[in-house]
Structures are given as C-alpha cells and as structure tokens.
Homo-oligomer: A and B are copies of this chain.
Amino acid sequence: METFVELLKTHNLKVTQQRLEILRYVESHLTHPTADEIFQSLTKKYPSLSKTTIYNTLETLTNAGIIQRLTICPTEHRYDFNHDMHHHFICKQCGKIFDIHFTCPNVETIEKDILKDGHRIEEVHGYFRGKCKDCLNKEGVKNG
C-alpha cells in the first residue's frame, strides 16, 4: 500500500485523492510552497480541485503533525513536509527559503529556562533573514 495511504490511516484521516495529491506535492517540493503554489500546480491535472480543499487539507495535515506550517513570511503561510526541528534562511529579496541543516544544541537549555517560567513548549522555530547566494551573485554582476 502506498506510504501516504498508510500515513493518513495511521492518523485516522480519510484517504482521498485530494489529500494524496497534496501530500505528494509537499513531499516532492522542498521549496516550502504556499497554498496557492500547490493549487496552481495541482489545478492543471485536477481542474475540479478547490482552493478551499487545499487550505482545509493543509490545516488537517498540520494539526495531525504530518507537515509543518512555517509562519515566517510576512504575507503568507508556507508548508514543510519535514516536520523535524530545523532552521531556515529566508532571502529578503527573492523570498526563497533554504533549510539550515543545523540542530541547535541549546534548545534543551532554552527549554529548561522556559519551563522554569511555567510555559509548555510544543514547537521550536528558528530562522534567519538576509540576502541569498543567488541574489548576491546577481547583484555582484550588476554592480561590477
């Protein structure tokens, strides 16, 4: 049985074509896509697919912990099939998001600090903003 079918069943979610397609898309596109990007791509193959379904499904998958919602862009949500703790780099110019393959060894220390305050941590997010390699290179060409 397809992995995603099992994955949905494991989480007591009904298996639908729409959910499978969205899962496949998010898993195979490591660009942290937006709901609209997913929609624009899938609507070609599945013209009846509704954007509301994209939103509903992303919400459902996020709540199930299957995917991760990134709230780090100013105007839109982005989604990540990789829900392990990892950091991101966002380019202020082109908006692209890169994974930072670095596991912060201080998370535990910070978490202890926060727990001392009495709060309960459920998610850890870290990101950096700046100008990406590609944009810096393009600029370099422009400016000599």
Interface of A toward B, CB cutoff 8 Å: 69, 71-74, 77, 87, 89, 91-92, 98, 100-102, 104-106, 109-111, 113-114, 117-133, 136-137
Contacts and interface: CB of A to CB of B under 8 A. Distances in A.
A91 B74 contact: no
A118 B130 contact: no
B129 A128 contact: no
Given A102-B113, A106-B105, A136 B118 contact: yes
A100 B71 contact: no
Contact of A102 (B77, B110, B125, B128): B110
A114 B98 CA distance: 10
B125 A130 contact: no
Given A110-B100, A114-B100, A126-B126, A121 B89 contact: yes
A130 B126 contact: no
Give the dominant DSSP class at A's interface: mixed
A123 B117 contact: no
Given A74-B71, A114-B89, A131 B127 contact: no
Contact of A128 (B89, B105, B114, B136): B114
Nearest to A105: B106
Given A105-B106, A122-B130, 6 more contacts: A71-B72, A74-B77, A98-B117, A104-B106, A121-B129, A121-B130
